[in-house]
Structure 1
């Protein structure tokens, strides 16, 4: 079994690795659900030569997953950078206006990612016809699918996740969104072997002065809080996986 931890900083990556994570999904843009990391972060992370596999997400913006040709070109360039920096894999997805898989542009992205491990992200959770999409992802050559079962959380979507795992021939079905030590056993019990978690820990900002009248985020999130990886939560999940 493998535990993938979603990390939004290099410090997060180090905490996750030190506490037993098997793989990292590396992202920027926490409030957008994960965006392509900066060149500076990717370069610095690659220079650390960590033993743990790291899969940067390739997602140029938040919102929907219908991309213009300019955005697809940006994604291709970002994938090429990830390859040049010797990362193990990439995470991406793209849909058509009718919320089906964008086969043409996905094929272009896959071609750019030749030799890398391929994960299709939660764009799957807002696409039509999930079982048809599953077969298409297998034909395209993806290695794994990150999904909440088209629900707000993976526990709510566990029935579809189990169904996807039943019909998958060689695509690894990896539950994500709300997966933690308190519910991990449910996913182990339906025969899954890879799990995705943010293992988030919230802490107060270390800033000595904060202006409560100003907020920089369009989501109006509480900017007096910081988010990091809960090392104890990672350890608990790994213990459950080893015990099973």
Structure 2
């Protein structure tokens, strides 16, 4: 496999993350907020700013649409919000969206996914790691392919993609080129080569680090006004560079 040309997607939360992705040549970014919570739908202002920073030659911007933290079994109200957010992201200029929803039994919510794909109006739709929480990821991939989704983001059902390689290989075999398989979750410079060797179409990583609360200036005080106040996460250029170097260097080491 040609790891030199293997696309990668960087999960970012803001303009500075896009700058790193653009500088390093990412194929795409997944734009979200609150990655510490697993990622939530970013604001319209964040999306517009990141699109402007990307420009015409920058990475594609794919927007995570997730209305709350927690599981992916949504009622009518939450699903209605997601449909609106998909339409809004595409109308703002996003190249695609990243979505997922499931039934109470853990299987994919086909009807909900159909609504989300329809709302994207032909733009690229990625199924996020809800696939890793379904009873049968291979069957879920078949469903995603049947519904016309472009790709799935998966760790192979494990907490870290490097620990789900057997399932990743099974997903690649099942996909047979009819839907892209992108591996993500916990990918770092030490694991990216092994994950790439599973045959996936792309890799996804966040390369983030935490900025301590005192680095932002001021002090954190006790009391209700400061509940939840602490550090925040940013895309780390050096970490991303190390992962890319390990990925691109894999072809000469093979």
* CA pair 207-46 structure 1, distance change in 2 beyond 3 A: closer
| Number of aligned residue pairs | 239
Cα displacement (A) at 1:241: 3.7
* CA pair 57-213 structure 1, distance change in 2 beyond 3 A: same
- In the TM superposition, what whole-angstrom CA distance separates every residue of 1:155-189 from its partner, at most 9, and x where no partner exists? 12121111111111211111111011111110222
Alignment TM-score, normalising by the size of structure 1: 0.91
Listed as ranges, the matches of 1:1-244 within 5 Å are: 1-48=6-53, 50=55, 51-169=58-176, 170-205=178-213, 206-214=215-223, 215-217=226-228, 223-243=229-249, 244=251
Aligned partners of 1:184 and 1:201: how far apart in 2?
18
SS of the equivalent of 2:11 reads: strand
SS of the equivalent of 2:163 reads: coil
Q: Do the aligned residues in 2 keep the contact of 1:21 with 1:238 (CA within 8 Å)?
A: no
- In the TM superposition, what whole-angstrom CA distance separates every residue of 1:73-115 from its partner, at most 9, and x where no partner exists? 1111111111111211100001011111100111011001122
Alignment TM-score, normalising by the size of structure 2: 0.88
Q: Do the aligned residues in 1 keep the contact of 2:40 with 2:69 (CA within 8 Å)?
A: yes
The answer to which structure has the higher helix fraction is 2
SS of the equivalent of 1:155 reads: helix
Aligned partners of 2:247 and 2:236: how far apart in 1?
17
Q: Do the aligned residues in 1 keep the contact of 2:190 with 2:246 (CA within 8 Å)?
A: no
Residue segments in structure 2 that go unaligned for 5+ positions in a row: 1-5
Aligned partners of 2:248 and 2:138: how far apart in 1?
31
Aligned partners of 2:50 and 2:164: how far apart in 1?
34
Q: Which runs of 4+ in 1 moved over 6 A?
A: none
For the aligned residues, what is the CA RMSD?
Answer: 1.7
Aligned partners of 2:25 and 2:48: how far apart in 1?
23
